[in-house]
Structure 1
Amino acid sequence: MSNDTTIHASNLGGGYTVLLTDGAGHAWTADEPAALGGANAGPTPVHMLLSSLGACTAITLRMYATRKQWPLEGVEVALRINPQGKPAAGSDIERRITLRGTLDAAQRERLLQIADACPVHKILTGEVRIATALGDAAPRP
């Protein structure tokens, strides 16, 4: 993971829709469902967080299996947050990984271990510090 990529999140209207961009020319949208006052124009921020973990898990497993030349034909990752309801402290993420292909039991077990090595998993399970500061707003014409 590169440390030089800045993600920009911009909400310039009266609703909750947020335009997200990166330095590589990608743009995507986040929003809240209509039932919460949003326009449902994109996934919620929590869904985006889970998507990051799911994508990172699938990519990490594919990279490892390719490097080992294992017969991994596909990876599916299903994620839910707080499936048993909100705990007294913290949050729980349930991650169910389906591996497709003629993998033996040892390969499947190793891939399960490797899933915890994906960079997003490491971020979410490590100590996270967020430094927040106000930016200078240029006057709008």
Structure 2
Amino acid sequence: MPATHTATATATSTGLGTFQSRVELAGQTLIADEPADAGGTDSGPTPYHMLAAALATCTTMTLRAYAAQKGLEIGLVSTEATHHRAPGQTPSDRFERTITLDPRLDEAVRAKLLAIAERCPVHNTLTIGSLVVTRLAEGESDT
């Protein structure tokens, strides 16, 4: 990933239920929501599902990019990321990540890939932190 990178996503409430939102990003549209037991309509992934998906996706992409750069044939990579929230604990958010690699890879390659996973950009954002700057848009809403 380049040193400077910008990614923009826009979430707009749909008016269906309290939480359902239309999310537009990278030329794609998806629906985000909360489960019914949390007051949503259960019509899409929650924001925390998308955050876990970002970690899983970035990990898989990072490992494949590293392998390509080094000329390694590592086969398919699968990453599962699970988010746990435990208010009152420090930190209150915990991500568990399980990476599945081709079992034929030797231990040295597997260990190196595990170390590379720790350098995935989304992993770094979650563990090192980021700055969120919030402002109100000028003028009337067009939605």
Q: TM-score, normalised by structure 2?
A: 0.85
Amino acid at match of 1:9: A
Cα offset for 1:132? Answer: 1.4
> What is the percentage of aligned positions where both structures have the same residue?
37
The residue aligned with 2:23 is 20
User: Could you say if the C-alpha distance between residues 86 and 97 of structure 1 is closer, same or farther in structure 2, counting changes exceeding 3 Å?
Assistant: farther
Deviation beyond 4 Å, 4+ runs, structure 1 = none
What are the equivalent positions in structure 2 for 1:1-141 lying under 5 Å apart?
Answer: 1=1, 3-15=5-17, 16-22=19-25, 24-82=26-84, 85-86=86-87, 88-90=89-91, 91-100=93-102, 102-138=104-140
Q: Which stretches in structure 2 are left out of the alignment for 5+ residues? A: none
1:6, distance to aligned residue in structure 2 (A): 1.8
Q: What whole-Å deviation, never above 9, does each CA across 1:96-123 have from its counterpart, x for those lacking one?
A: 1111253111110000000011110111
| Unmatched runs of 5 consecutive residues or more in structure 1 | none
May I ask how many residue pairs the two structures share in their alignment?
A: 139
In 2, the alpha carbon distance for the partners of 1:66 and 1:3 equals: 21
1:58-108 alpha-carbon deviations (Å, 9 max, x no partner): 01111111222223111121222238x556211221111111253111110
